[in-house]
Structure 1
Amino acid sequence: MHDKLNALLNHIRQNVEMIIHYEKEILRRRGFISSAYCRHPGYVADPVADRLFDELYRMIETEFVK
């Protein structure tokens, strides 16, 4: 679990706006908030960053209690 979580954290913690963007996405996926919208200025994810986030998140999402 540590290695999987560490990989995700290393990806999303590249800058402050990226942290906020992906932490809100995690909260949305877990059902805590309905939208991951971030007001401007904010990080705008590109398809490569989103694909990597999706891949890394899928590796840990079964660890969350729903």
Structure 2
Amino acid sequence: MNLNLEVEQEEDGRWLAEVLELPGAMAYGASADEAMVKAEALAFRALAEQLERGEVSPLPITLSVPSAA
């Protein structure tokens, strides 16, 4: 499973990071790094819950993270 993290700065100055393959896995931060850390943690929590409930089978994963802007 490949997960892609997209990060962009909003008009109000906050940064938004989103894991594209996991609907709703997005987080805001004061910096690009902060938003990415929060979104990554959220993605791993969501995947862990799915595994624990038997909703998905274990798969090798790769997380692609862009360099900070």
TM-score interval for Structure 1 and Structure 2 normalised by the shorter chain: 0.3 to 0.5
More helix by share: 1
Which has more strand, going by share of residues?
A: 2
Structure with greater Cα Rg: 2
- TM-score (normalizing by structure 2): 0.34
Higher relative contact order (CA 8 A, sep 6+): 1
| TM-score, length of structure 1 as denominator length | 0.35
